[in-house]
Amino acid sequence: MRIIRSIDIPSGSSLACLYREHKIEYPKFFKMDTLCKLGFLATELLLEGDSDRFVPREDRAVLMFSRNGCLANDINYEKTMGDYPSPSLFVYTLPNIITGEIAIRNKYKGETSAFLLEEYDEERIRSIVEEAFQDTVTTSAIVGWIDCRSESDWTCKAFLVEK
């Protein structure tokens, strides 16, 4: 397995500014929770300039790892449950939504998985990614450790890796 590119998005960065700065066009971005915005932006930056960017492909996996998953959004959603639960927040109460958003945007039809780990564990992540490469189809993967503790406190590291 070989890392082709990597990206870090520093905690507290303005995600809206980063989105606009890179002239990304994806209206759903502003509806996403912070976890999805981070994964989405990290992927956009990793793939920026790729000529075959939006060509449908089955050979690329999307594998995201986190400690807290979508807990920050779950807390926001819980606050709406006293009156009328917010459907726009509810959709982001599953940590695997991040992989789905990335796959839809990029027309990936390969494996998409979100994993919750006790802590950032490079060896365990590497092992899971190598397992994804065991099939006969997967040749590359978007891999990320995206741990969102709140709307302004996170860790975001993402990698484009090849078999």
Residue-wise pLDDT tens digits, 110-161: 999 999 899 999 999 999 999 999 999 999 999 999 988 777 788 899 999 9
pLDDT value for 102: 95
8 Å CB contact between 155 and 4: no
DSSP sequence for 115-162: EE-SS--HHHHHHHHHHHTTSSS--EEEEEEEEESSSS-EEEEEEEEE
The residue extents of the domains of the chain are: 2-162
Q: Is the pLDDT at 56 greater than 70, yes or no?
A: yes
pLDDT value for 148: 82
pLDDT value for 51: 85
Q: Nearest Cα to 140, choosing from 77, 76, 61, 26? A: 61
The rounded distance, in Å, linking the Cα atoms of 84 and 102 is 29
Q: Is the pLDDT at 84 greater than 70, yes or no?
A: no
- Architecture in CATH of 2-162: 3-Layer(aba) Sandwich (3.40)
Q: What is the pTM (predicted TM-score) of this model? A: 0.86
8 Å CB contact between 54 and 135: no
